[in-house]
Amino acid sequence: MKFDSSNISTNKNAINKIRKIWQKSEKKILKEIGNLTGLAIKTNSITCHIDDSTTNGLYGKNSITLGVKGGISADDVRMVIAHELFHIFYWKKLKKMCLTKSSPGKESKQEWNLAEVAAFLLTNEPSLKKCWPNAQVCLYPKTKSTCKKVKQFWKQGDIGYFLAQSYKILK
């Protein structure tokens, strides 16, 4: 994964520190995500933009944004990057399965909720929580009802099954 910042105020030391935190755990995290979901996440074409003007994490087609305003812990760096990376490959899987014609940023409220629930369930998996034991993984309050409906399908450990079953009940 490449790391950069378009913010002039983000210093190179901060970018290098984040790069080192991620690279130290990247293979372990990606392998575990693959074990849990069946997704093969490759990061060679992904860029992580470091943004010191926000605390938000965001994702796009081949990029993620890591908000670091006010500072960010190593555990949060690992968790947020994994969360945002998962979103990219989650949407690729949805498209491959022909479950939606939507795209990120143009999805329905239900689809957005499901994407956030899936990322929440993944980042709360005990085997991954070991990679960010002190990170607070939160579920958006507006996604709680979706989580209650689809959580049962996550336990299957297969993202394809989870998506197919979740889309059936959310349509």
Alpha-carbon span 27 to 156, nearest angstrom: 23
The span from the CA of 94 to the CA of 103, in Å, is: 10
Q: What is the 3-state secondary structure (H, E, C) of 69-118?
A: CCCCCHHHHHHHHHHHHHHHHHHHHHHHCCCCCCCCCCCCHHHHHHHHHH
On whether the CB atoms of residues 76 and 143 are closer than 8 A, the answer is no
Per-residue confidence in pLDDT tens, the chain, 171 aa: 999 987 766 678 889 999 999 999 999 999 999 999 999 999 999 999 999 889 999 998 899 999 999 999 999 999 999 999 999 999 999 999 999 999 888 899 999 999 999 999 999 999 999 999 999 999 999 999 999 999 999 976 789 999 999 999 987
Tokens describing residue 54: 């926000």
**∠ CA 39-154-89 to the nearest 5 degrees?**
25
Helix (H) or strand (E) holding 3: strand 2-4
How do strand 2-4 and strand 63-67 relate by DSSP bridges? unpaired
